[in-house]
Amino acid sequence: MAKTKRVVFSFDERSYDSLEKIKKQGHFASLADTVRQAVEVSGALQSQAHQGYTEVTVRNPQTGEERVLVIPRLAPQAD
């Protein structure tokens, strides 16, 4: 079994409410699972950004409609 480390976060009320909303919408078992998934998604997006991809296309499978999401933190940063 992998060694675990305990991390404690402090959230302002608005951020905590947002985290709770994501937990409910994503049907996550706990806030920790919610944060773990968010970290995993962020890591995947950052990996793609390092390869030059900074836009995400989402599709509604029922309508076929597509939208392009531009995630500001993935955009190239001036050094």
Please report, for the chain, the start and end positions of each structural domain, with discontinuous segments joined by +. Answer: 13-74
Q: What is the pLDDT of residues 26-38, one digit of tens each?
A: 999 999 999 999 9
Which token pair is 73?
Answer: 């933190």
* 28-70 pLDDT, tens digit each: 999 999 999 999 999 999 999 889 888 899 999 999 999 999 8
Q: Find tokens 């944060």 and name the residue.
A: 35
pTM: 0.75
Measured between its terminal Cα atoms, the distance across the chain in Å is 40
31 by Cβ neighbours in 10 Å (0-12 / 13-18 / 19+) ranks as: middle
Instruction: Specify the DSSP class assigned to residue 74.
Output: G
Count CB atoms within 10 A of the CB of residue 23.
18
Please state, in angstroms and rounded to a whole number, the distance separating the CA atoms of residues 7 and 61. Answer: 38
